[in-house]
Amino acid sequence: DAERYLMNNYGKRGLVMTRGEGHRLFDSDGKSYLDFTAGIAVNCIGHSDAGWSKVVAEQAGTLVHTSNLYLNVEQVALGKRLVELSFADKAFFCNSGTEANEAAIKFSRKFHSDAGKPREKLIAFENSFHGRTMGALALTWKEAYKKPFQPLMPSVDFLPFNVAEGLEAIDESTCAVIVEPMQGEGGVVPATLEFLTALRKRCDEVGALLIFDEVQCGLGRTGRLFGYELSGVTPDIMTLAKPLAGGLPIGAVLTLDKVADVITPGAHGSTFAGAPLVCAAANYTLGRVSDKAFLANVCAMGERLRDGLRELFKPHDFQVRGEGLLVGVVFDTAERCGAVQKAAQERGLLVLTAGAGNVLRIAP
């Protein structure tokens, strides 16, 4: 039925998953898999967590959706908690990571427009991934993702990732610079302190906004609640999504007041964003992942995982990199990496690939 009724944009999918429990998924034949994909870094507290399920069921029986014509208690509570835990002054909610990045683009443009000096140019980086909608796609590096959908949003320039020199392309015509504190799709590459510090300095010099895309690396994945905590460099805008609601679709944009103050009624909006159901799930999830013991365990298990992988791949001299529980193993070829991914699945272990297909991405 899948071939008959579903588009083929994901290709042929051989596995049909029917239930999950903790770190395990079960297919339609009853086979168990150790899930080291976490739904592409989404299921941060595992599958079918009892506390999460209870909160969602209770909220579903109380109030699911009202639109943003009205406030709801869960949305306000989530905004407050995110602001108090981060650098930010205000929060905006949406429904996905790519929506969060689209909002960040709009907020940046309006920031400069309201100052009476509109700026168009946006700076992104090689091997970046920011989403598949038209604005976020324009900020994404991989040409194969973009070519069929041209023309995309113009005035986007790409610079080398993790190169602190040569940032003169960020100038007084630059609206904003968007960067991932750790590239996920790009190959599990942490940004260096030197690089992020240089970006912050250059943006301040020319009045450009600095956006951190933490859709994949944020909310505990690196062993810190937010990826920017690894460097101590803070952005003006930060985008979040994947794990925030523990598996339900949500996105968020956190900003300083100087950005939030230009977003007046009617400037942006969403019908479904910040609904009571998804915000209740997010409040529960955020409470779990922000716990110091939870984050300490992510750090400890990540170190254990990387140490074990380094020992395993020592004969091949493959690099193992990452932070917390976002880990990459750099293979010599994409073919060999893909073969290992396939063999792992056959043996009941689910992992991802990244980069040019040559990085085994592990995100339990």
Per-residue pLDDT of the chain (364 residues; tens, 9 = 90+): 899 999 999 999 989 999 999 999 999 999 999 999 999 999 999 999 999 999 999 999 999 999 999 999 999 999 999 999 999 999 999 999 999 999 999 999 999 999 999 999 999 999 999 999 999 999 999 999 999 999 999 999 999 999 999 999 999 999 999 999 999 999 999 999 999 999 999 999 999 999 999 999 999 999 999 999 999 999 999 999 999 999 999 999 999 999 999 999 999 999 999 999 999 999 999 999 999 999 999 999 999 999 999 999 999 999 999 999 999 999 999 999 999 999 999 999 999 999 999 999 999 9
Q: Can you give the pLDDT at residue 361? A: 98
Phi, psi angle pair for 185, to nearest 5°: -55, -30
The enclosing H or E element of 215 equals: none
- Report residue 136 as tokens: 């976020």
- Rounded to two decimals, the pTM is 0.97
Q: How many residues does the chain have?
A: 364
Residues whose CB is less than 8 angstroms from the CB of residue 44 and which lie 6 or more positions away in sequence, other chains included:
38, 219, 220, 221, 243, 246, 285, 288, 289
Cα(359)–Cα(333) distance, rounded to whole angstroms? 9
The enclosing H or E element of 252 equals: strand 251-255
- Report residue 193 as tokens: 């302190």
Q: Can you give the pLDDT at residue 275? A: 98
Q: Can you give the pLDDT at residue 256? A: 98
Q: CA angle 252-256-259, nearest 5°?
A: 90
Cα(22)–Cα(20) distance, rounded to whole angstroms? 7
For residue 191, what is the DSSP state? Answer: P
